[in-house]
Amino acid sequence: MKTIKGILTVTFLIFMLNVSAQQVEGELTINNDQRTYLKIGDIKGESNVINLFNAFREGDYEIKFNFGGKYPPQQKPEFSFFRFKTTVKHNGKTIKTIVREPMPYIPGDMFLPAEAFDFVHILSTYKQEGMAYMENTGKMPNGDYEIVLEAIPVKTEGRISKGIIMFNIK
């Protein structure tokens, strides 16, 4: 009985060493910067959610996800799961935060579409003083905006630096 307990304990410890030894490090950037200020006037001259979305789709702004891993010598690099979290703030106040279900990614560089995050959805359904996309105006309310994009490792240690998008609507 003690032998079985000993074998199970050693097996568990080896498993835990392998799990805790997997680490990821990386960053999310927008146009190669972790903090990017968008000039809304450059987005077709309007403060419209659709124009913001199109600016990302057409490549005016690019979201890049980069990560690498540290693995034990006996283990080959594998894919890692990440939850993408989007937080949108208006005039310093959080409008909404959405966290997506985990998705697998392999180490390296990759460009992500705006649809990988939820800022277009949050902005398009945000209502303030009668202005919102759902009311067919498409215009964003005046003020300072901050969009925080995060990739959170799941069942893996490490950290991915946040990407932050800022802009002002006048």
Query: Measuring CA to CA, which residue among 145, 30, 165, 153 is closest to residue 84?
Result: 153
Q: Which fold has domain 2-169?
A: Coagulation Factor XIII; Chain A, domain 1 (2.70.50)
Task: Tell me how far apart the alpha carbons of residues 121 and 137 are, in angstroms, rounded to a whole number.
Answer: 15
**What pLDDT sits at residue 12?**
45
Element (H, E) at 18: helix 2-21
**What pLDDT sits at residue 33?**
94
In this structure, the dihedral spanned by the alpha carbons of residues 102, 105, 108 and 109, taken in order and rounded to 10 degrees, is -70
pLDDT beneath 70: ranges in the chain: 1-21, 40-46, 71-77, 128-138
Task: Tell me how far apart the alpha carbons of residues 123 and 167 are, in angstroms, rounded to a whole number.
Answer: 13
Going from N- to C-terminal start, the domains of the chain cover: 2-169
Whole-model pTM: value is: 0.79
Report CA-CA distances (Å) from 155 to 24, 105, 120: 11, 13, 28
**What pLDDT sits at residue 7?**
54
Report CA-CA distances (Å) from 28 to 64, 95, 164, 165: 6, 21, 9, 11
**What pLDDT sits at residue 10?**
46
Strands, E, within 10-162: which ranges? Answer: 23-30, 35-37, 63-70, 80-90, 93-99, 103-105, 108-112, 143-154, 157-161
| Bridge partners for 50 per DSSP | none
Using alpha carbons only, give the angle 91, 55, 33 rounded to the nearest 5 degrees: 65
**What pLDDT sits at residue 4?**
61
**What pLDDT sits at residue 17?**
45
Question: Quick one: DSSP state of residue 131?
Answer: B
